[in-house]
Amino acid sequence: MMPFTYSVADYEDLIYVYSICDVNSVHAIAEYQQCFPNRRMPTQGVFTRIYQALRDTSILPGVHTAAERDVNEGVEEEEYIVQMVQSSPCASTQRIARRLCVPHTRVWRTLRADGINPYHVQ
């Protein structure tokens, strides 16, 4: 799965094009390509995932603000990840990523850098 690759402005354009094409992803791709020929072309799934994410959560996929993060003030993100694993060794990396609103790969990289193997007895 590819991480967040579109800017907020790109998302706005994708949503606009999708809506003027009456939520038809095939037509939206053609329209987007005509309007923005120099940009990366989205697939049908991109249009439907963005639309569904906005309907379900009112948040664009991959876009998080610092205010939405559940981290302690003054504690580095990496340290907090390690603290979470140390306090609960069976915590899944997916759950930690969701709790901190960070990419799942960041949790894995942080744990690997500290020599911690998730799901293994430490």
Residue 1 lies in a domain: no
Q: Which of 4-18, 50-64, 68-82, 97-111 has the lowest mean pLDDT?
A: 68-82
pLDDT computed for residue 65 by the predictor: 41
- Banded pLDDT at 115 (limits 50, 70, 90): confident
pTM summary value: 0.48
Query: Do 81 and 107 meet the contact criterion of CB atoms below 8 Å apart?
Result: yes
- Banded pLDDT at 62 (limits 50, 70, 90): low
**How confident is the model over 48-70, as a mean pLDDT?**
68
Domain hosting 38: range is 8-57
Residue 119 lies in a domain: no
Residue 17 lies in a domain: yes
The tally of domains found in the chain comes to 2
Same domain, 74 and 105: yes
**How confident is the model over 58-77, as a mean pLDDT?**
52
Same domain, 53 and 71: no
Structural domain ending residue among the three candidates 17, 35, 57 = 57
**Under 8 Å CB-to-CB from 74, ≥6 apart: which residues?**
none
Same domain, 34 and 75: no
